[in-house]
Structure 1
């Protein structure tokens, strides 16, 4: 007597059961692609708001090269959603090994304005380029601003001042701390400075215009612990020849 075996029920057919050899759903790349594009829209919107009005931000759908542009912020190039992909996008579509990030390359808008561009390719888990986010900065606007700033700060052609001027405040109370700090750098106190060091600190005070203050010489003498007349000798013989 031969035994009979019940036949296995047929496998369900549909997206949920469509599997690759590795067991991954074949619909997964499509879902990933849609997710990348959806998240890309948020990035374009955020970058556009941050860098307006200088930077155009564009999202390209590389799975539909003839109608690649799906979002554009701060439109500087005149392109519209539904326009075709650029040469950079075509290169990514043709070669998955094409660099994912091309930063700060020279470009140009249709009307001739110079641009600085950055292109970022987005891949799915299969390693296929799905989208690209491109930033195009209008450097002509910045160049004009830079020229104005340069004109403001340019002193190359300015006539020299008749006297050397410092804009720092000059106060009698600054003399003692300056001498004390100078002495500390030489591991000593103001009265302990050598003759050469005293002449050096006098030159520092003179360069800062502090010796032009009333009572300045008396303050220097008090801090160094010398007679006021001695301070005058430092000034009259700055090289220490006597």
Structure 2
């Protein structure tokens, strides 16, 4: 109980920072405060509008990845990503920990640099420089956790471009391992959602998840000196 009160106090202390950072950087900046104790409604404060987040919204796939890493998660600073509509965003995700070192939330800063990138590309083409921002990965931001899970599942299925029934055992395990690495199964009811999308039973989904985690554990042990 004391630990929960401590986490609530940390979030309360960070809330004014959300407004302060957004006001400093202006209308192209969005700051989002997440409470990972509620993945389906992790957004507890937001200022600015870059990804369209709202209080009570779900975490993005970036947050799911942090959640999957647990207390081993580290800050992800100054990375480039794209929204589904193609806007280029420079972002930083800073994890929040309680006094025991447990990760329970994050402060995210998103800056829309689309216009700056277009100007840079124009100047770069005139100077003959390469376009480095073209490789920025797309990130799904949504207030509905189901849409984020669906987007991640679609992304992991697209390299196969085949139905679940056409995948062999290794490909099925690799699919579940990839989803697990990205934090999909840290969200409640996600196993049922993935099973429904793939057209398999919940028991089969748990079976493949267990095999994927066993394979990951074997790889980790094999990598030890």
| Structure 1 runs (4+) greater than 3 angstroms displaced | 144-148
Q: Distance in 1 between matches of 2:121 and 2:65?
A: 37
Q: What pairs with 1:37-76 in structure 2 (closer than 5 Å)?
A: 37-76=11-50
Task: Provide closer, same or farther for how the CA distance between residues 98 and 141 of structure 1 changes in structure 2, counting only shifts above 3 A.
Answer: farther
Q: 2-side partners of 1:115 and 1:140: how far apart?
A: 7
Instruction: Give deviations 1:119-164, integer Å, cap 9, x for gaps.
Output: 000000122212101111111122345578x59xx89xxxxxxxxx
Q: Quick check: 1:66–1:84 contact (8 Å CA) kept in 2?
A: yes
Residue by residue over 1:35-71, the C-alpha shift from the partner in whole angstroms, topping out at 9 and shown as x without a partner, is: 1111121111110111111221111111111000111
**Inter-partner Cα distance in structure 2 for 1:106 and 1:147:** 15
Check if 1:112 corresponds to 2:86.
Answer: yes
Is the Cα contact below 8 Å between 2:89 and 2:113 reproduced in 1?
yes
Deviation of 1:103 after TM superposition, in Å, equals 0.7
2:76 alignment counterpart:
102
Partner of 2:9, secondary structure, is helix
Contact 2:31 2:46 in 1 (8 A): yes
Q: Kindly report the root-mean-square deviation, in angstroms, between the aligned alpha carbons of the 2 structures.
A: 2.4
What's the TM-score once normalised by structure 1's chain length? 0.47
Measure the CA separation in 2 of the matches of 1:147 and 1:87.
28
Greater C-alpha Rg:
1
Q: How far does residue 84 in structure 1 lie from its aligned partner after superposition?
A: 0.7
User: What is the aligned counterpart of 2:65 among 84, 87, 91?
Assistant: 91
Aligned residues: 127
Gaps of 5+ in 1: 1-26, 156-242
Q: Which has the higher helix share?
A: 2
- CA shift, 1:112, in A, is 1.1
Q: Distance in 2 between matches of 1:50 and 1:85?
A: 24
CA distance in 2, matches of 1:118, 1:133: 8
State the secondary structure of the residue aligned to 1:29.
helix
Say if 1:66 and 1:85, in contact at 8 Å, map to a contact too.
yes
Contact 1:36 1:131 in 2 (8 A): no
TM-score (norm 2): 0.51
2: distance between equivalents of 1:73 and 1:53? 10
1:58-89 deviation line (CA, Å, top 9, x unaligned) = 11111111000111111111121111112222
